[in-house]
Amino acid sequence: MKKVAVFPGSFDPITIGHEAIVRRALNLFDEIVIAVGANALKKSFYALETREEMIKKVFQNEQRIKIDHYEGLTVDYCNIIGARFILRGLRTSADFEFERAIAQVNKVMAPDIETVFLLTVPEHSHINSTIVRDIIKNGGDASIFVPVAIDLKNYKIEEE
Ligand code: ADP
């Protein structure tokens, strides 16, 4: 059976930390679906379509990576598309505590689905989308934190 993993997240915007986790996970899975969580109630910095567009640009030459979005529970989405793995990245012990609770609850709700964690490389442990947004909001250059394929000038901001 094809090993399909879902990499869920906000990706607002995608960073080099996300990109590295996905590229490393290609050695573990046959297919990775990068699934942008759509939350109708929460205003994002980049619109959902913009976030998906950026991710598509980064992985445009990678046949085994698909990009999608979903609403609701990640385990429900996994069941709908037939994915048996959830991929998450870990940076810090705070990430671990947060992720542990989610993964354990997911395991109760969907016993067949395994959450797989990859520990970030040290160079990426300080990088997150919030910092990237703050730099952009304040007119700084965030390009070193986003994948090389992305030119931030080309993407419209939804909310300042
Ligand atoms: P969420 O809102 O679900 O936390 P994010 O887009 O912030 O979504 O992150 C998606 C996943 O990528 C999470 O598992 C997160 O821990 C991981 N991640 C984020 N930044 C990094 C990084 N710099 N290195 C490794 N993993 C990361």
pLDDT of residue 39: 82
Fold of 4-154: Rossmann fold (3.40.50)
How many angstroms does the Cα of residue 112 sit away from the middle of ligand 1?
23
Atom of ligand 1 nearest to the CA of 129: 7
List the residue whose alpha carbon is closest to atom 21 of ligand 1: 17
For 99-129, write each residue's pLDDT tens digit: 999 999 999 999 999 999 999 999 999 999 9
The set of catalytic residues is 18, 42, 91, 129
How many angstroms does the Cα of residue 139 sit away from the middle of ligand 1?
23
Task: Find the residues whose C-beta lies inside 6 A of ligand 1.
Answer: 9-11, 15, 17-18, 21, 88-89, 91, 95, 120, 124, 127-129
pLDDT of residue 136: 96
pLDDT of residue 160: 53
pTM of model > 0.75:
yes
The 3-state secondary structure of 15-61 reads: CHHHHHHHHHHCCCCCEEEEEEECCCCCCCCCCHHHHHHHHHHHCCC
pLDDT beneath 70: ranges in the chain: 160
How many angstroms does the Cα of residue 129 sit away from the middle of ligand 1?
8
